[in-house]
Amino acid sequence: MKKFFETVVEKILMVSGTITSLTIILIIVFLFSQATGLFNSSVVEENHSLVVNSQNRVQTLTPMQIKDIFDQEITSWIEVGGEDEDIIVFRFSDITSYVSEEELGDEFQFIPQVMSKIINENPAIIAFLPDQYLPNPTDGTRVMDCGDITLGDFFGGEEWFPTAQPAPLFGVLPLILGTLWVSLAAILFALPFGLAGAIFLSELASSRVRSLLKPIIELLAGIPSVVYGFFGLVVIVPLLQDWFNLAVGETALAGAIILAIMALPTIITVAEDAIRSVPRTIREASLALGASKFQTIVKVVIPYAVSGIMAAVVLGIGRAIGETMAVLMVTGNAAVIPTTLLEPVRTIPATIAAELGEAPTGGVHYEALFMLGVILFVITLVISITVEIIASKRPKQIM
Amino acid sequence: MKRKTLIQNIAFGIFRLMALSVVAILVWIIGFLVVKGAGALSWEFITESPTDGMTKGGIFPAIVGTLCLVVGSMVFAFPIGVMSGIYINEYAANNWVVKFIRVMTNNLSSIPSIVFGLFGMALFVNTLGFGDSILAGSLTLGLLVLPIVIRTTEEALKTIPDTYRQGSYALGASKLTTIRKVILPMAMPNITTGLILAVGRVSGETAPILFTCAAYFLPKLPTSIFDQVMALPYHLYVLATSGTDIEAARPVAYGTALVLILIVLIVNLLAGVLRGYFNKKLR
């Protein structure tokens, strides 16, 4: 009986041991299952279509072209491969400027006929209509087949404009570049301080100073990201605005500074562990050869610990890439491809946090945001595998 | 002075200065929030509801909400995390299973919190139909801090010398009895450290609760685990970035930030004290 009880307990413990693995599998399953619908969604907004005159030679339009047409950036069909005719843009709300309300019928039952009349009279028209009001396709009209959102549109697109009508733009390039831009800048700021801190802690500080500094670094790691964001918003942002004479202080630079502070504890702790694990004999051999302590650190200790330091840097980058709230609050969130540190950027996590609340569940926008989650997940997975590989690499034997 | 020594002194001076600046940053952040926030702190501030479009009044509902989430996530994460840690350290032979679990736990802890938010929304809110609720938020946060609990448990168990286990076996105790009567009581203070750190993490996380439970403003306190809640970190986010009058809400925002900082300070202090106690006991 007792034996049986022990076995049961062991099995229960084993099950709880698998829960982290199970969670990861569930995360993968759910992120992907919510996101994959994106590439089966049509380019044009759901339950809507673009209708043209059947004489129109243009067979298909890209999301970018659709946006430019409706923004009047493209004004002639010749620019998208058609006749040299000025494009007439027709939104559904424009219908009353073509016909009177009586002609639409009491229950709008005549709209399809009215539409086919309008489209036949205006060969250069492009009409954006809800699907229930589509004219009969035999009436000299044609629904433009724009296809589904492609991988190229998503990963190669340079504009993120999920609420654009008639075709939302899900170009993820500015978001990916924005994320990398802010994170790499943050690591560049944090690395010298992190490395100096790690060297100081492991090589220079007395054990009393060390036992004082360690909790301080833990505290820095424990401050919630929203507090960092708030601090950035009320202190760093106005400061930058002042220094650089900017119209807005919410910039990539503000994000990078806050992220650098947030990444510091990770970098210091991991790098310090790496430096500490350098065998004493190697240090002593160097000192015995007449090298100074500083020379020993630079020429022996750091080269020996370099894989651990690399791991610290990569981990720090991972932290920075995934950080949401602080970045959301200080970077200004403009979805443009960044060129300098002094303009607003928008990162992947900030986009998810800012937009998921407004995206209807199951819609294209929702799916696109989950696809961003997938990208983020994959990036962090690659990073933690990289760290695993770097950290497990044995340092080169020093002969 | 030799050139070598001179270079060394300059370099070490720079190292010291840079390490010191890390401390300075922390002092700056905490000092700033204490100075700005202390004025807002009062008994009314932590016991009253927000009034005047969140520009006046207190943060009581947000404190209650965060408390609900802390309790909810710990009820879930603490037992599972501790059991998981016991399994890794005491039962699983040191083979690929342990390695696999450890790698997975590491991976889980490196997943960004916003991804947890997405996952929690997809699984708990939509698929399981919990809606925006304390339950959904607690489960999401629980999964987020699971690695912390597992790791501290594992570490706590690892520091207990094998001689204790062997001594217990020699007296005829079974494995389970040994764990229950010898190992766990000894490791408990350190395991509790993990619990406390997890509490600190849960009370500060915003991204995972954005879409699983957090509410902008609620006129009354939650009555069941299927209610939405206000929460401190989300409250600070709302006060800082949106709202009817951001400038007028600043004092309340400073106060909220200070409360969050105080929680972190207390949590770290408690954890430190417990760790010291544990190490003394082991010796």
- Nearest residue to A359 (alpha-carbon basis) of A347, A376, A371: A371
Q: What pTM value is reported for the model?
A: 0.89
A196 CB within 8 Å of a chain B CB: yes
- Nearest residue to B111 (alpha-carbon basis) of A313, A24, A22: A24
Residue B218 clears pLDDT 50, i.e. is over it: yes
B99 CB within 8 Å of a chain A CB: no
* Residue A164 domain flag: no
Instruction: Please list the helix, strand and coil fractions of chain A in percent, rounded to the nearest 5, in that order.
Output: 65, 5, 30
Looking at A113, A147, A181, the residue that finishes a domain is: A147
Helix (H) / strand (E) element for A89: namely strand A88-91
A199 CB within 8 Å of a chain B CB: yes
* Residue B25 domain flag: no
Compute the average pLDDT of residues A18-29.
90
Residue A394 clears pLDDT 70, i.e. is over it: no
Mean pLDDT over all residues of chain A? 87
What interface predicted TM-score (ipTM) does this complex get? 0.92
* Residue A201 domain flag: yes
- Nearest residue to B226 (alpha-carbon basis) of B142, B125, B144, B141: B125
Residue B244 clears pLDDT 80, i.e. is over it: no
Q: Give the residue carrying structure tokens 């408690």.
A: B270
d(CA A215, CA A199): 17
- The two tokens of residue A315 are 């981990």
- Residues of A in Cβ contact (< 8 Å) with B29: 223, 227-228, 231, 261
Instruction: Write the pLDDT tens digit of every residue in B81-98.
Output: 999 999 988 888 777 888
- A178 and A138 belong to one structural domain: no
Compute the average pLDDT of residues A142-166.
84
Domain of residue A296 covers: 173-392
- A295 and A184 belong to one structural domain: yes
Among B16, B33, B206, select the one facing A200 at the smallest CB separation.
Answer: B16
* Residue A183 domain flag: yes
In angstroms, what separates the C-alpha of A241 from chain B's closest C-alpha? 18
Among B121, B174, B240, select the one facing A329 at the smallest CB separation.
Answer: B240
Among A197, A218, A352, select the one facing B268 at the smallest CB separation.
Answer: A218
DSSP letter string, B154-174: HHHHHTS-HHHHHHHHHTT--
* Residue A5 domain flag: no
With CA atoms as reference, the chain B residue closest to A317 would be: B110
Q: Which residues have a Cβ under 8 Å from the Cβ of A399 and sit 6 or more positions away?
A: none
Count of CB pairs separated by less than 8 Å, A with B: 245
Which one of A6, A13, A380 would you mutate to disrupt binding with B, by most B Cβ within 10 Å of its Cβ?
A13
**Between chains, do B206 and A324 touch, taking CB under 8 Å as contact?**
yes
Among A294, A325, A383, select the one facing B7 at the smallest CB separation.
Answer: A294
Write the CATH number for B265.
1.10.3720.10
Confidence grade of residue A399 (pLDDT, cut at 50, 70, 90): very low
Percent of chain A at pLDDT exceeding 70:
98
- Residues of B in Cβ contact (< 8 Å) with A228: 29
Instruction: Write the pLDDT tens digit of every residue in B103-152.
Output: 888 889 889 999 999 999 999 999 999 989 999 999 999 999 999 999 99
A98 and A91 in contact (C-beta within 8 Å)? no
- A180 and A120 belong to one structural domain: no
Lowest model confidence (mean pLDDT) among A15-29, A174-188, A233-247, B84-98:
B84-98
* Residue B21 domain flag: no
Residue B53 clears pLDDT 80, i.e. is over it: no
* Residue A333 domain flag: yes
Surface-to-core class of residue B202, CB atoms within 10 Å of its CB (0-12 exposed, 13-18 middle, 19+ buried):
buried
**Between chains, do B15 and A199 touch, taking CB under 8 Å as contact?**
yes
- A74 and A200 belong to one structural domain: no
* Residue A327 domain flag: yes
Instruction: Please list the helix, strand and coil fractions of chain B in percent, rounded to the nearest 5, in that order.
Output: 75, 0, 20
Among A205, A223, A324, select the one facing B207 at the smallest CB separation.
Answer: A324
* Residue A275 domain flag: yes
Residue A397 clears pLDDT 60, i.e. is over it: no
- Nearest residue to A220 (alpha-carbon basis) of A268, A267, A272, A262: A262
- Nearest residue to A107 (alpha-carbon basis) of A136, A137, A132: A132
- Please tell me the predicted confidence (pLDDT) of residue B42: 85
Residue A398 clears pLDDT 80, i.e. is over it: no
d(CA B214, CA B229): 5
**Between chains, do A31 and B118 touch, taking CB under 8 Å as contact?**
yes
- A250 and A136 belong to one structural domain: no
- Residues of B in Cβ contact (< 8 Å) with A356: 117-118, 121, 210-211
- Residues of A in Cβ contact (< 8 Å) with B119: 26-27, 30-31, 373
Instruction: Write the pLDDT tens digit of every residue in B73-82.
Output: 999 999 999 9
* Residue B38 domain flag: no
Among A196, A349, A352, select the one facing B18 at the smallest CB separation.
Answer: A196
Max CA pair span of chain B = 74
Say how many domains are in chain B: 1
* Residue A33 domain flag: no
Compute the average pLDDT of residues A376-395.
84
Say how many domains are in chain A: 2
In angstroms, what separates the C-alpha of A340 from chain B's closest C-alpha? 25
Confidence grade of residue A179 (pLDDT, cut at 50, 70, 90): very high
- Nearest residue to B257 (alpha-carbon basis) of A326, A321, A186: A326
Domain of residue B167 covers: 43-282
